Amino acid sequence: MRRRSFIALLSSAAATWPLAARAQQREQMRRIGVLMSAASETDQQAGVTLFLEVLHQLGWIDSHNVRIEIRWARGDPAEARKDAEELVALPADVIMVTGQLGLEVLLRVTHSVPIVFNSVIDPVGGGQIDSLARPGGNATGFITFDYALAAKWAELLKGIAPTVTRVAVLRDSRHRSRNRPIRRDPIRGALNRSGCECDQHARCSTD
């Protein structure tokens, strides 16, 4: 899902907070925590700006009837842990988090504060949620892409270079998947069907 669509949807969710709670805004201001865990801030800054703009359009104005608490972990696990603990301790009513690092840290810190994530590669395989349809627990959100599409990568490769017979699959070992650690089966199946070897003897690399 594109960043604009995700942020608009999350902001719309804020509009569904109970009316009774809105009537009590003067007594208790809502808090939204934001944990940006990626190393680069360039594109993330634009996303945060858009997020605040959409909230404003929905009537949620920072420091007026809602308080937005933003933390930048910059890819540092120790910083992400500290930021997550701070947001939970505020306490935040809901926390938006980007990236696998931030999501994993938050789920270790809290099992009760609602978490909405984006830019996470494989939250099901990583054990952060039960399934995309029924995430369970206190986290839900959007994945970067669906691994079911992995077979299409192999099909495109064979279409571009039909004489290829040996393929290496590279992945970032930092993205751990508890249940399906390498997720290469869709690629392997598609390549085998097209006559391309992809097995241990063919050196199908996974790291």
Is the pTM higher than 0.85? The answer reads no
Task: Give the β-pairing of 94-98 and 139-143.
Answer: unpaired
- Confidence grade of residue 131 (pLDDT, cut at 50, 70, 90): confident
Q: What percent of the chain has pLDDT over 90?
A: 36
Query: Per the omega criterion (within 30 degrees of 0), is the bond before 91 cis?
Result: yes
Q: What is the pLDDT of residue 3?
A: 55
> CA-CA distances (angstroms) from residue 197 to 48, 124, 162, 204?
45, 28, 13, 9
Q: Mean pLDDT throughout 181-206?
A: 54
Structure tokens at 114: 């609602």
Write out pLDDT tens, residues 45-57. 888 888 899 999 9
Q: What is the pLDDT of residue 157?
A: 80
Domain range list for the chain: 3-143, 147-193
Q: Mean pLDDT throughout 170-183?
A: 54
User: How much is the CA Rg of the chain, to the nearest whole Å?
Assistant: 20
CB 47 within 8 A of CB 7: yes
Residues in the chain: 207
Does 82 score more than 90 pLDDT? Answer: yes
Q: What is the pLDDT of residue 34?
A: 96
Among the CATH numbers 3.90.850.10, 3.40.50.2300, 3.40.50.1820, 3.40.50.2000, which is that of 3-143? 3.40.50.2300
